[in-house]
């Protein structure tokens, strides 16, 4: 047996060694070790067929933390973990985590920096502080951007929030950090629509598909004074691969020049699943 007093200062009460021999040593209160490619572990079994019969493993810490830690084969420090930890369940409810009352929380954190992946409150609201989610707006109106058959990428340059830092305010582009289904909403207000402008489109462009979501034939509006305005808003659910992008495009045609102004707007997005 290799003792590792750097991990734990408690006196060992009982050990089952590689040869199956049992005895008292000085590392852990209970230690099971086997040098082989097959399974090593502790089995707690209840052979009763009565409903509600349980096989229990309890970890009780009077004033500290009850903890399960998975190490790699060197197990020299608590920052070195096993390649993976697997929980296998039978039929029925699978894994059930019970916590005592509304003052308790459940967290999943990452080793090393202890960043919280998700947290569930005692009232069962779950938050994921690193889940991709952003909201960006225009800091000021931008003039003369389209109207003469020009596709203009709207530069939403002010973030209300961007909790995973996936949106770029310099170019108005969101980049997917992981493959998944994302929801996007884009809203813009267009000014200076005149009689020459025949058609106006709003699009959300992704690496896979460009969604042409709003098309208006503005000849139906009274734009004789050159001050026609329109507000449009669109939403999509898009399938993005890792590093795919999404952004808003505004397109106007037949005005004779790029004389349309985007007065205001916002662009939001979030990973759904």
Q: Look at residue 173 in the predicted model and tell me its pLDDT.
A: 98
What size, in residues, is the chain? Answer: 273
Q: How far apart are CA 261 and CA 175, in angstroms?
A: 26
What number is the average pLDDT over the span 118-144? 88
Q: How far apart are CA 62 and CA 177, in angstroms?
A: 42
Residue 220 pLDDT grade (very low, low, confident, very high; cuts 50, 70, 90): low
Q: Which residues of 60-74 are buried (b: 16+ CB within 10 A; e: fewer)?
A: eeeeeeeeeeeeeee
207 or 259, greater pLDDT:
207
Q: How far apart are CA 266 and CA 136, in angstroms?
A: 6
Q: Look at residue 72 in the predicted model and tell me its pLDDT.
A: 61
**What domains are defined for the chain?**
1-96 (no CATH), 133-271 (2.60.120.40)
- Cβ–Cβ < 8 Å for 239, 271: no
pLDDT tens profile 28-83: 556 666 565 666 667 777 778 777 777 777 777 777 777 777 666 555 555 555 56
Residue 247 pLDDT grade (very low, low, confident, very high; cuts 50, 70, 90): very high
What number is the average pLDDT over the span 251-262? 76
Distances in Å between the Cα of 228 and the Cα atoms of 73, 140, 151, 153, 223 are: 71, 19, 20, 21, 5
The most confident of the ranges 49-53, 115-119, 191-195, 223-227 is 115-119
202 or 109, greater pLDDT:
202
CA 73-76-79 angle, to 5 degrees, is 95
Q: How far apart are CA 120 and CA 107, in angstroms?
A: 6
pLDDT tens profile 203-216: 999 999 999 876 66
35 or 166, greater pLDDT:
166
Q: How far apart are CA 41 and CA 30, in angstroms?
A: 11
101 or 30, greater pLDDT:
101
Q: Look at residue 29 in the predicted model and tell me its pLDDT.
A: 56
What number is the average pLDDT over the span 96-105? 78
- Cβ–Cβ < 8 Å for 145, 202: no
What DSSP designation does 132 have?
-
Residue 20 pLDDT grade (very low, low, confident, very high; cuts 50, 70, 90): low
The C-alpha R_g of the chain, in whole angstroms, comes to 30
What number is the average pLDDT over the span 153-159? 96
Q: How far apart are CA 148 and CA 79, in angstroms?
A: 60
Backbone angles phi, psi at 257, to 5 degrees: -160, 165
Neighbours of 176 (CB within 10 A): 22
What is the model's pTM? 0.72
Strands 14-16 and 180-193, bridge-based pairing:
unpaired
What number is the average pLDDT over the span 90-107? 76
Q: Look at residue 241 in the predicted model and tell me its pLDDT.
A: 97
Question: By C-alpha distance, which of 53, 32, 29 is closest to 42?
Answer: 32
For the chain, give the mean pLDDT.
77
pLDDT tens profile 176-185: 999 999 999 9
């Amino acid at each position: 047996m290799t003792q590792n007093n750097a991990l734990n200062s408690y006196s060992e009460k009982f050990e089952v060694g590689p040869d199956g021999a049992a005895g008292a040593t000085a590392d852990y209160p209970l230690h099971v070790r086997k040098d082989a490619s097959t399974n090593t572990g502790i089995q707690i079994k209840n052979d009763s067929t009565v409903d509600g019969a349980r096989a229990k493993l309890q970890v009780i810490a009077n004033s500290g933390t009850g903890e399960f830690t998975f190490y790699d084969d060197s197990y020299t420090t608590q920052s070195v973990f096993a390649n993976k930890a697997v929980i296998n369940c039978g039929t029925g409810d699978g894994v059930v985590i019970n916590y005592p009352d509304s003052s308790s929380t459940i967290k999943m954190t990452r080793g090393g920096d202890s960043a919280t992946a998700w947290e569930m409150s005692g009232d069962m609201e779950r938050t994921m502080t690193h889940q991709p989610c952003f909201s960006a707006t225009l800091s000021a109106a931008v003039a003369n951007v389209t109207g003469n058959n020009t596709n203009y990428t709207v530069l939403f340059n002010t973030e209300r929030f961007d909790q995973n830092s996936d949106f770029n305010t310099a170019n108005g582009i969101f980049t997917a950090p992981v493959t998944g289904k994302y929801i996007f909403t884009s809203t813009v207000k267009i000014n200076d629509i005149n009689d020459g402008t025949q058609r106006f489109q709003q699009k959300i462009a992704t690496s896979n598909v460009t969604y042409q979501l709003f098309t208006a034939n503005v000849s139906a509006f009274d734009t004789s004074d050159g001050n026609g305005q329109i507000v449009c808003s669109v939403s999509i659910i898009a399938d993005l691969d890792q590093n795919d992008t999404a952004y808003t495009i505004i397109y106007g045609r037949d005005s004779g020049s790029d004389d349309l102004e985007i007065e205001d707007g916002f662009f939001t997005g979030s990973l759904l699943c």
